[in-house]
Structure 1
Amino acid sequence: MFHGNVSLEIAEGLKTLRKRIEAAKIPPSKLDETLNIATWNIREFGKKRRTQAAIHYIAEILGQFDLIGVVELRDNLSDLQRVLPILGPYWDVVYSDAVRDQGGNYERICYLFDTRAVVFNGLAAEPSPPRSKRGSEYLTDQSWWRSPYLASFKSGNFDFLAFTTHVRWGDTEAARLKEIESLAAWIGAKTKEKTAEDKDIIVMGDFNIPTRDSPMLKALLECGLKIPTALAKDEFGSNLARDKRYDQMLHFTQFTESFTNAGGVLDFYAGDHRPLFPADTYPDMDKDAFTYQLSDHLPLWMQINTDIDGQVLDALIQRKRQG
């Protein structure tokens, strides 16, 4: 991390933040063995210029992981460009275009990644709802308010697709469910493609799913996705109150051993924003204002195994024996 010659206030805030990060018990990743992946909705990131303290805190949080799917990156990339030099020269980014209307909220999706641990594998695309021919045109029946973003990555011997989305909140849960069902159908079809770039898919983002027993989550599971064990065992939330799991991480994989039993939420808020933004320096910084400096969402993360040589050989042997 390259924080440089920061002010005393930011240095003290970073020390407090690091204690909160330690409480998350994120295991270190190992080159060519494990990879730490996170999804984080950074509230309206780029809409309004953040304080220098917030930029350093965001960089410190992002730097705990190897690959992060970021939601709510806005059309203005200037704050992202302030974060990257703090992360270091070995970090890279790939991002989608902004959806320039109120439904899309002028948002992008981006992947930030540490190139020492994971490399971009060539594919970056915005999936679209399936179309059918009507007369001489090909049209879709379903609207995704914000296009998901799909990208391919490789870490060690593990090739995978990352699929990140920000599902509409909308006026009704029925409309949100319809969008999620359509996304799930697209993901399910992708896993069955004979020429798919890879069969291992990490699906993540802000799905605005209200509860774990919601039909919205059921729709994702019915397409073949699974919740990693580490994220399924506890009913913890990814909002600041820790009582809602709008954010999700799921996977479709050929090798179930790829997913370790490590995962959780990084709680940078810990019930009090003042140690990061002292009242004498930020007198107007209430909790709501704090969410526009860091976020109203906490990063959700998991660790995967990337050393899968043994599993690949086992699969090869099984195929050879069967014919």
Structure 2
Amino acid sequence: MAFYHTLKSYGNNKEQEVDYPNKQSWLAQRLLTLRHDLYHQIEKGRQPNSLIVGSWNIRAFDDGMPRLDETYHYIAEIIDHFDICALQEIKSDLAPLIKLMKCLGPNWDYFVNDVSTHKGGNKERSAFLFNRNKVFFRNLIGEIVVPSDQLINGEQIARTPFFASFQAQWFKFSLCSAHIIFGDDLNLRAQEIKAIASSLIKRAKKEDQVHIFLGDMNIEKQDDVIMEALKSTRMVVPDFGPTNMSGNRWFDQMAFTQKGKAGNKTRLLRHNKFDWRHAIFGPHPDENKLPPLALSNDDIAAGKSRLSKRELLEHYEPIVSQLRICYGKEPYADFSKSYKTWTSFEMSDHLPIWMELEIDYSDEYLRKYL
């Protein structure tokens, strides 16, 4: 489980040398509420002997004003409900990622690739975070290189896909994390996706493992040319719906191979995205609509709460204003109007997605010997 030992050090009510009244109690209450939502949406329905794979583009992590201490705990809490998670938009400074790993605890480990300096690479990295109690690394890691006859405009993919092999129980699998280049040319995005997926499908025919292609694919619509390119690969493509904050872009996706040497060694059990905005930072776009799981009187007595936009603004505005001054920036002229943008740099402008896969085929294996 995620680590909370650093909460003890927050008793001095400071946030990067700025006053933060009731920092411990605020963070504890918000974590309790977040854990409530994660339990009901992910943990409660989990099948025994399954694998939960996550993917999350965490906006510019961390390439600007440092995130609040509490934000690291929220991000860690969400990731801790997965067994393994691919992250996109990790920036050159790894100190924030190391800080996040400390919040996850000693049972979590990670791999990260080098910064992409290619044109369009935006100086980003990808990372794989995995719970060593659930998953182990199979000593294969690298980046996907597109064969010369499949090069797009004669060039490799701008942000090279990150690839590694893992195992959960008997289930062997690889993750290939991608952050497809964003731009006006939708066909270029479609070509990048098809080139990566084709490479994974070829591997699947030879290797005894399931290949999972995941990440920020910058898909605009569920029926556009980019999505069609992904679906045309004949990989299994679950429908996660829109994953941006406005709810109108199908940016983040997962797909996995079902045919090949691995045979039928997995089955999709569940999949979804997780929207944290009912529990932390908010506000949810439909603030007046009851969250999927309303809090009971017992929940409220146990320290959980739903907050209005007014309450969130009243809490964060003085803290953020002081922090901006500390970093030589002007406070927001209208914090209410800027709040959505600010929260997108605290958490992200993408929602995390996840899928649960069946990994225990012991009975089928034993029946072969009857």
The TM-score with structure 1 as length reference comes to: 0.85
Alpha-carbon separation, structure 2, partners of 1:217 and 1:26: 29
Q: Which amino acid aligns with 1:287?
A: K
Partner of 1:242: 247
Note if 1:268 corresponds to 2:321.
no
The 2-side partners of 1:191 and 1:29 are apart by 27
In the TM superposition, residue 212 of structure 1 has moved relative to its aligned partner by: 1.8
Range with bigger deviation, 15-24 or 168-177: 15-24
* 1:38 maps to 2:31: no
- Structure 1 residue 310 corresponds to structure 2 residue 315: no
When residues 244 and 18 of structure 1 are mapped into structure 2, their CA distance, relative to the original with a 3 A threshold, is: same
Which amino acid in 1 is paired with 2:50?
Answer: T
Q: 1:87 to 1:211 in 2, by over 3 A?
A: same
1:58 to 65, 68, 75: 75
Displacement of 1:95: 1.2
| Equivalent-residue separation in structure 2 for 1:58 and 1:276 (angstroms) | 18
Matches within 5 A, 1:181-192: 181-192=194-205
Aligned residue in 2 for 1:199: 209
| C-alpha contact 1:187 1:223 (8 A) present in aligned 2 | no
Query: What do residues 36-95 of structure 1 show as CA deviations (whole Å, max 9, x unaligned)?
Result: 111000001121321111111111111111100111111111111111111111110011
**Aligned-residue offset at 1:170:** 2.0
Equivalent in the alignment of 2:288:
none
- Which of 250, 257, 269 is the aligned partner of 1:252? 257
2:306 matched residue in structure 1: none
From the CA coordinates, give the structure whose radius of gyration is larger.
2
From the superposition, tell whether residues 149 and 312 of structure 1 become closer, same or farther in structure 2 (CA, over 3 Å): farther
Equivalents in 1 of 2:241, 2:153: separation in Å?
Answer: 37
Displacement, 1:218?
A: 2.3
Partner of 2:91: 74
Secondary structure at the residue paired with 1:146?
coil
Where 1:292 maps in the other structure, the secondary structure is helix
Q: TM-score, normalising length from structure 2?
A: 0.75
CA distance 1:51–1:258, shift in 2 (3 Å): same
Partner of 2:228: 218
Change in Cα spacing, 1:94 to 1:154, as seen in structure 2 (3 Å) is: same
Quick one: which amino acid aligns to residue 123 of structure 2?
A: Y
Q: Supply the AA of the counterpart residue of 1:291.
A: S
What is the aligned counterpart of 1:121 among 130, 135, 138?
A: 138
SS at match of 1:141: coil
Contact 1:151 1:162 in 2 (8 A): yes
Shift of the 27–67 alpha-carbon distance from structure 1 to 2, 3 Å rule, reads farther
Q: How does 1:82-231 map to 2 (within 5 A)?
A: 82-101=99-118, 103-131=120-148, 141-192=154-205, 194=206, 196=207, 198-227=208-237, 231=238
| C-alpha deviation, 1:220, in angstroms | 2.2
* Distance in structure 2 (CA, Å) of the matches to 1:313 and 1:19: 39
**What does residue 321 of structure 1 align with?**
none
Distance 2:265 2:132 in 1: 24
8 Å Cα contact 2:118/2:158 also seen in 1: no
Q: Does 1:298 align with 2:347?
A: no
- Could you tell me which runs of 5 or more consecutive residues in structure 2 were left unpaired when the two chains were aligned: 11-23, 285-308, 322-334
Tell whether the 8 Å contact from 1:17 to 1:276 is kept in structure 2 after alignment. Answer: no
Residue type matched to 2:180 in 1? V
- Comparing 42-51 with 293-302, greater Cα deviation is found at 42-51
Given the superposition, is the C-alpha separation of residues 98 and 221 from structure 1 closer, same or farther in structure 2, using an over 3 Å criterion?
same
SS, match of residue 77 in structure 2: helix
Q: In structure 1, how many angstroms separate the alpha carbons of the residues matched to 2:277 and 2:119? A: 29
Q: List gaps (5 residues or longer) in structure 1.
A: 133-137, 318-323
Q: Secondary structure at the match of 1:184?
A: helix
Q: Which moved more, 1:268-277 or 1:252-261?
A: 268-277
Residue in 1 that maps onto 2:327 = none
Distance in 2 between residues matched to 1:126 and 1:295, nearest whole Å: 25
Judged with a 3 Å threshold, the aligned counterparts in structure 2 of structure 1 residues 139 and 182 are, in CA distance, closer, same or farther, namely closer
- Structure 1 vs Structure 2: percent identity of aligned residues? 28
Indicate the RMSD between aligned Cα atoms, in angstroms.
2.6
Q: What is aligned with 1:3? A: 4
Q: Residues of 2 paired with 1:213 and 1:200: CA distance?
A: 26
